[in-house]
Amino acid sequence: MLPAQGSKDPIGKKFNASWKVIFFGCGCTVVFGALLGLWELLMDIIVSPFDIIVLSYLLTFGMIMLVLDSPVPHPKLEIFKLVIYKYLLFLTRFIGRGVTYIFLGCMLCGSLWDNGTAPFIGFIIFGALFVIGCASIYFGYKTTKKLESVRKALLNRTGPTTSLCPPGGLKTDKFADMAIRVQGIHFSEEELGYIANALSLTVHSDDIISQREFENWLKDPTTVLL
C-alpha cells in the first residue's frame, strides 16, 4: 500500500535496501531483454507480429516493475504506483513477484532463443530471474507462515479480540512485541513493513495497524499472502 499523504514513507523505511535494489535490477533486466529482442526483430526484413506483441508485453511489465521499485521519489511516479497497487496488487507481494519473475524469465528466454537474437543472454536472464523469483517466493512463504501462526495463537486466546488492539491502532513495533509474547515469533523491521502493508484495507497506509484492519485479519479465514 502507499503511504498516507503528509506521512513518512513506511515502504521506503521498511523496504530493505538490498531487496529494493534486487527488484529494481530485475525490472532493468526485463526491460533490457525486451528491448534487445525488439531491436533485433525490427532489423529483420520480415517482422513477426506475434513476436512484437510478446516482447512489447514483456517490455510493459518491465517498465511497471521499474516504476514500482524506482529509488527516485517523484509525484508522477507515485500516481503510477497508486494504479499498480490498485489493479496489480500481486506485484507488491513477494510470492506474486516471485511467480512473475519466473514467468517473465521463461518468456524472455524463449523469445530470444526462438528468434536467434541472443540465446546465451536469454539463458543468463532466465537464470537470474528464476533464482530471484524462487528466493522471493521462499521469503514470502516463510513470512506468511509466521504471520498465520501468530493469528492462530491469538484466536486461541480467551477474552475479546478487541482488547488486543486499542482503538487508536497498533504500531508495528507493538505488533512485534505481541507476536513474541503470544507465540515466541520474531519479526524483523523489514517484515513488519510488509505485514502492515498487507493488512491495510486502504491504498494509503502507515506503520499503524488500525483496529478494523486487525479485527479483519483475525476473523478472515483467508490467509494473508506476503
Domain spans in the chain, listed from the N-terminal domain onward: 2-141, 144-219
Distance CA 49, CA 58 (A): 14
Residue predicted with more confidence, 158 or 181: 181
- Range 113-122 average pLDDT: 78
Q: Answer for the pair 200, 224: CB distance below 8 angstroms, yes or no.
A: no
Mean pLDDT, rounded, for 108-130 = 84
Of 71-75, 109-113, 165-169, where does the model show the most confidence? 109-113
| Whether the Cβ atoms of residue 100 and residue 90 lie closer than 8 Å to each other | yes
Q: Which residue has the higher pLDDT, 10 or 162?
A: 162
Instruction: Mark residue 6 as left, alpha or beta (left: phi above 0; alpha: psi -120 to 50; beta: remaining).
Output: left
Coil, strand or helix: which one is 209?
Answer: strand
Model confidence at 13: pLDDT above 50: no
Separation CA 97–CA 128 (nearest Å): 14
Q: What is the pTM of this model?
A: 0.77
Cβ neighbour number for residue 26 with a 10 Å cutoff? 25
Contact 33, 108 (CB under 8 A): yes
| Residue 140 in this model has a pLDDT that exceeds 70 | yes
Residue-wise pLDDT for 26-38, tens only, equals: 999 999 998 988 8
pLDDT digits (tens, 9 = 90+) for 1-10: 444 444 444 4
- Tens-digit pLDDT profile for residues 53-110: 888 889 998 998 888 888 777 788 778 877 887 788 888 888 989 999 999 999 888 8
pLDDT of 131 over the 90 cut: yes
* pLDDT grade for 159, boundaries at 50, 70 and 90: low
Average pLDDT, the chain: 80
Percent of the chain whose predicted confidence (pLDDT) is above 70 = 85
Q: What is the mean pLDDT of residues 149-166?
A: 76
Q: Is 208 helix (H, G, I), strand (E, B) or coil?
A: strand
**92 membership: H or E segment, kind and range:** none
